[in-house]
Amino acid sequence: MEQADNNGTEAVGHAAYAPQATLRQGLLDEIKLLRRFSNRGLWALSLFLVVSTLAWRDFWFLPSPASVVASLGAPPTPMMISLVLVLYTFSAIILSLSRMMSGLRHKSSFCHVGYLGGFYLFYYLAEALTDNYWAVFGAGFTILCLESYRIWTFCSENITRKLEQLAFLERNGRLPPEEPDLSE
Amino acid sequence: MFDKIAGRALVPVGIVVTGFLVVCFVLLYAAIKQVVIRDSIGHANNLAGIVLKSTRYAMMKSDGELNGAIIRNISEQNGVQHVRIFNKKGVVAFSSKPEEVNRQVDKKAEGCVVCHEKAAPVTTLGNMQKARTFKNAAGEEVLAITAPIYNEPECANAACHFHPAEQKVLGTLDIGLSQEATLGSLAAIRMEMVIFSILTLFLTIAGVITLLKMIVLVPMQKLQEYTEKSARNSHASRPTNLPYELDKIAESYYFIRTKLNETEESSFKTVDDAPVCQNK
């Protein structure tokens, strides 16, 4: 009889601890995800450096600009590409700063590597890569550094909050009440 | 560094201003360089035209001595590296360097290949296509123009010698100009732009630091000192005038602190005034 009572108490205890364990595991998983996500900007920056190295070596594996131009037609003029590059850099910086301000979780770093690779290609086809290489490199480095910084600050703030929630959960057995949004 | 407000605010500003300035600087320099080089090619083309016009009369008269004298005089001009005239077969007919005369030039050589790339040579070229740049034996950058000498009715009908009327190009003029002055100007522009960019960068960052410190950091430090002082003393004093919203925060803190002190004092008073329990 006593044994049966003990078993019953244990079952109630497990039931009480089960949601706490699930919440704890959930928080730990989220912290792990955030830690992984915080490196995303640096990975994008590394990929951009690889693309820049290929551009520095004048895309030796690609067909010559003359043959591409012969089949596809004339590329835009270097002046036009430069104008678009300035517009793109300005917009990307403003967008990144706005995301930083509103604390959005946005993973846009890798698409910037694609856009910048496109600029390298257009300059290569217009035979103006030598003169404009450092402009694309500077734009890419700036945008991706800013994006890395944004992602890193976002992740470190969230990790701190999750660790606080974890400590609260372990002290009180429940999650802390949601903080009201003071900005509203 | 990143734990403080100053670090968090200055890092993005520094990255954005520096990066955007570098991008604009490189693009602006590339555009200026393109304009300067296009202008110098234009001037070189004009000079080639002048040389052709100057030698035209001597060619019509088939006066080799006069042609040679004109070529020599032009090549003595400051900045002119070489002047050559090739005949249709690619043999140097006149040159500023006498040792080059009667020497055959390879049609695949730089400057010739532009027209002779295909089986049928190109007879008309744009201004930019006529130009090529290379480094001479002394390591100087040279801008060379290869201008075709076209057959004209006077040439085909001249009495001295005969060129068939269907022959479009009689020969080419090759003139090389030193790029030293152009490159010197570009280097000066580059240096001025670098100095201007560095000054702008310093001014922007110094401005942001000053404003941040004046508007945010110093008042925040005052607020921090006020709250720490109030936490140490049980009787909080009224906050001294802090700027902007920080004054309201300090006032609220003072109000809460005063209320807390009053509550504490009244609770102590209640305990002191309470009757002593008889039934212990």
Q: What is the pLDDT of residue A6?
A: 47
> Residue B276 above 80 pLDDT?
no
Domain segments of chain B as ranges = 5-178, 186-268
Q: Show Cβ contacts of residue A52 under 8 Å, excluding neighbours closer than 6 positions.
A: A120, A136, A137, A140
Closest CB to B30: pick one of A100, A131, A141: A131
- Please give the distance of CA A148 from its chain centroid, rounded to a whole number: 7
> Residue B174 above 90 pLDDT?
no
* Whole-Å CA distances, B109 to A18, B99, B104, B114, B239: 83, 19, 11, 9, 85
Angle between helices B5-60 and B180-212 in degrees, nearest 10? 160
- Coil, strand, or helix at residue B144? strand
Can you tell me the mean pLDDT for A160-179?
81
- Tell me, what DSSP letter sits at residue B106? -
B124 versus B43: the higher-pLDDT residue is: B43
Q: Which of residues 17-56 of B touch A (CB under 8 A)?
A: 18-20, 22-24, 26-27, 30-31, 33-34
> Residue A159 above 60 pLDDT?
yes
> Residue A102 above 60 pLDDT?
yes
Which range is least confidently modeled, B125-139, B158-172, B246-260? B158-172
Write the Ramachandran bin of B52: left for phi over 0, alpha for psi from -120 to 50, otherwise beta: alpha
Residue in A closest to B27 by C-alpha: A135
- The CA-CA-CA angle for residues B117, B121, B118, to 5°, reads 35
B44 versus A14: the higher-pLDDT residue is: B44
**What DSSP line would sit under B171-196, residue for residue?**
EEEEEEEE-HHHHHHHHHHHHHHHHH
Q: What is the pLDDT of residue A117?
A: 95
Closest CB to A86: pick one of B12, B18, B27: B27
Q: Show Cβ contacts of residue B1 under 8 Å, excluding neighbours closer than 6 positions.
A: B7
> Residue A90 above 60 pLDDT?
yes
Q: What is the pLDDT of residue A73?
A: 87
Q: Tokens 């040439």 sit at which residue? A: B155
Q: What is the pLDDT of residue B280?
A: 43
Query: Is B5-178 in CATH node 3.30.450.20?
Result: yes
Residue in B closest to A144 by C-alpha: B15
Can you tell me the mean pLDDT for B6-35?
86
Which range is least confidently modeled, A170-174, B39-43, B68-72? A170-174
Measured in Å, how far apart are chain B's first and last C-alpha atoms? 61
CB B201 within 8 A of CB B23: no
pLDDT bracket for residue A14 (50, 70, 90):
very low
A16 versus A23: the higher-pLDDT residue is: A23
**What DSSP line would sit under A30-78, residue for residue?**
HHHHHHHHTTHHHHHHHHHHHHHHHHHTT-TTSPPHHHHHHHH-PPPPH
- Coil, strand, or helix at residue B10? helix
Give tens-digit pLDDT for B37-60.
889 899 888 888 888 888 887 777
Residues in chain B with CB shorter than 8 Å from the CB of A97 are: 12, 16
> Residue B204 above 90 pLDDT?
no
Residue in B closest to A100 by C-alpha: B12
Q: In terms of Cα–Cα distance, which of B145, B127, B143, B147 is closest to B135?
A: B143
A51 versus B245: the higher-pLDDT residue is: A51
Q: What is the pLDDT of residue B121?
A: 65
pLDDT bracket for residue A49 (50, 70, 90):
very high
Chain A nearest-CA distance from B16, in A, is 6
Which range is least confidently modeled, A1-5, A102-106, B129-133? A1-5
Taking the CA atoms of B134, B137, B140 and B143 in sequence, report the sign of the dihedral they define: negative
- Please give the distance of CA A99 from its chain centroid, rounded to a whole number: 12
Q: What is the pLDDT of residue A16?
A: 46
Q: What is the pLDDT of residue A3?
A: 47
CB B18 within 8 A of CB A142: yes
Can you tell me the mean pLDDT for B86-98?
81
Q: What is the pLDDT of residue B1?
A: 58
Rounded Cα distance between A170 and A29, Å, is 16
Please report the number of interchain residue pairs, chain A to chain B, with beta-carbon separation below 8 angstroms: 63
CA atoms lying within 13 Å on the CB side of residue B210: 6
In 10 A of CB B73, how many CB atoms? 12
B149 versus A49: the higher-pLDDT residue is: A49
For chain B, how are helix, strand and coil distributed in percent, rounded to 5?
Answer: 60, 15, 30
Q: What is the pLDDT of residue A8?
A: 44
> Residue A93 above 70 pLDDT?
yes
Q: What is the pLDDT of residue A115?
A: 95
Which tokens hold the place of A123? Answer: 């300059």
> Residue B120 above 90 pLDDT?
no
Q: What is the pLDDT of residue B116?
A: 66
Q: In terms of Cα–Cα distance, which of B56, B91, B54, B46 is closest to B72?
A: B54
CA atoms lying within 13 Å on the CB side of residue A64: 3
> Residue B151 above 60 pLDDT?
yes
> With an 8 Å Cβ cutoff, are A79 and B26 in contact?
no
* Whole-Å CA distances, A176 to A166, A170, A184, B182, B227: 9, 11, 21, 70, 27
Can you tell me the mean pLDDT for A138-145?
93
Residues in chain A with CB shorter than 8 Å from the CB of B18 are: 142
> With an 8 Å Cβ cutoff, are A89 and B23 in contact?
yes
- Does the CB of B5 have a partner CB in chain A at under 8 Å? no
- Coil, strand, or helix at residue B63? coil
Q: What is the pLDDT of residue A47?
A: 94
Can you tell me the mean pLDDT for B228-233?
79
Chain A nearest-CA distance from B183, in A, is 14
Can you tell me the mean pLDDT for B52-69?
80
Average pLDDT of chain A to the nearest whole number: 83
